[in-house]
Chains A and B, each alone.
Chain A
Amino acid sequence: MHRFNFRQASSIAEAHSTHAASDDAVYIAGGMTLIPSLKLRLASPNDVVDLSRIDGLSTISSAGGVLSVGATARHCDVAQTTDIPALASLASRIGDAQVRNCGTIGGSLANNDPAADYPAAVVGLGATVHTNSRAIAGDEFFVDLFETALEDGEIITRVDFSIPSRAAYAKFANPASRFAIVGVMVAETSSGVRVGVTGAGACAFRMSSFEAALSSNMSASALDGIAVDSSEFNDDLHASAQYRANLVTVMAKRAVAQLTA
């Protein structure tokens, strides 16, 4: 493996200044993407700044209708929460046991893999991503393939989810990696129906045509005949763009069926 300096940070401020002082630094939280990349020498940073032992950064709390998940909360921790069953269910289905026991919500969101599960929840539940310097609306957070609204060196501190009246997440998982070939979060929130899709495009997005249809009729049949544009969808060895477009409808219907059951 490539040689690097391991920097254990004990506070957000320390992590941030250590990152800023290096000419080539990366943050590590759970390391579920970074460590394999380092092993394959696909990344060779000078400094690796560890966020995983910062006090309070993994705290999960619930108050005033908001579930607040600390950035270094692991998937297995979120899977144990009860405030938003759809979110707990999503977390319990990420990757394998090792990934769930090490991987963190902040790491997943900052990495923004196009097939990650959490982005569907952030977009579909209308969450707010808090960082060391600001709050970013879920709708604004995911920009493009592996690209987020985060500035260089910016650190996610927590993610606030307003608790929806009901929500469900359905995904069609790759049988080997459990990554979402397509995953859809459908939620009824105080600001209306939201549909967040992951796996289909370069990054997570909302399906406004589905939202409009479900607002007037929360049933799977309301989605019949709504065209899904696949021109920008991912097309790879696992699934063609057209297949993914079909899955968007099928997963959305499954989520609706689950939510209305």
Chain B
Amino acid sequence: MEEHGEFLIPASRNEVWRALQDPLVLKQCIDGCEQMTVINADEFECAVTVKIGPVKARFNGTISILEAVQPESYTLKVAAEGGAAGFGQGQAHVQLHETNEGTRLTYAVEGSIGGKLAQIGSRLIQSFSRKMARSFFESFSKQWVA
């Protein structure tokens, strides 16, 4: 499973870069995120309630920032544990390009799930990752629209 996309954000590359590291911003942009705790500059802990169709499960996860090349690109690695529901992991590679209209953000996301979720949800993981990634980057770019 891999999912790509891009958004044009009306802000400078440095501003976008800073926001992408900000745990408060990340919290606001992750659907169902209830808590985001800073462990250190490159690592956060989060609690997210995922609701998709009949499934509603709370996941506790770690988000790590890897391969950061300021202010051009980084990789976000997420590992999450959802108790009885199962577990998931994924990463998003984000790149920022300067353009005349602002910053073009491109992303490539991949993920996988295990446990009971995978038993019944394997046919849905691709559409679900697409939906989550889109919703994240849409909320993220909306910060500059208002």
Contact = CB atoms under 8 A, between A and B. Distances in A.
B117 interface: yes
Interface in A18-43: 33-34, 36-37, 40-43
B53 A237 contact: no
A128 interface: no
B117 A42 contact: yes
Interface in A37-80: 37, 40-45
Nearest to B121: A42
B126 interface: yes
Interface residues of B, number: 22
Contacts of A117: none
Contacts of A112: 53
B56 A45 contact: yes
Contacts of A237: 122-123
A236 B122 contact: yes
B53 A33 contact: yes
A145 B85 contact: no
B126 A236 contact: yes
A103 interface: no
B122 A42 contact: no
A120 interface: no
Contacts of A113: 53
B35 to A, nearest CB: 18
Nearest to B85: A42
B131 A43 contact: no
B128 A43 contact: no
B56 A43 contact: yes
A26 to B, nearest CB: 8
Nearest to B135: A144
A238 B123 contact: yes
Contact of A37 (B1, B54, B125, B127): B54
Given A145-B52, A236-B122, A42 B130 contact: no
Interface of A: 33-34, 36-37, 40-45, 111-115, 144-146, 202, 234-238
A-B pairs, 9 with minimum CB distance: A146-B53, A37-B54, A41-B84, A236-B123, A42-B55, A33-B54, A145-B127, A202-B127, A40-B116
11 contacts: A42-B57, A42-B85, A42-B117, A43-B54, A43-B55, A144-B131, A146-B52, A202-B131, A235-B126, A236-B124, A236-B126
Given A43-B55, A238-B123, 18 more contacts: A33-B53, A40-B120, A42-B54, A42-B57, A42-B117, A42-B120, A43-B54, A112-B53, A115-B123, A145-B52, A145-B53, A145-B131, A202-B127, A234-B126, A234-B127, A236-B122, A236-B124, A236-B126
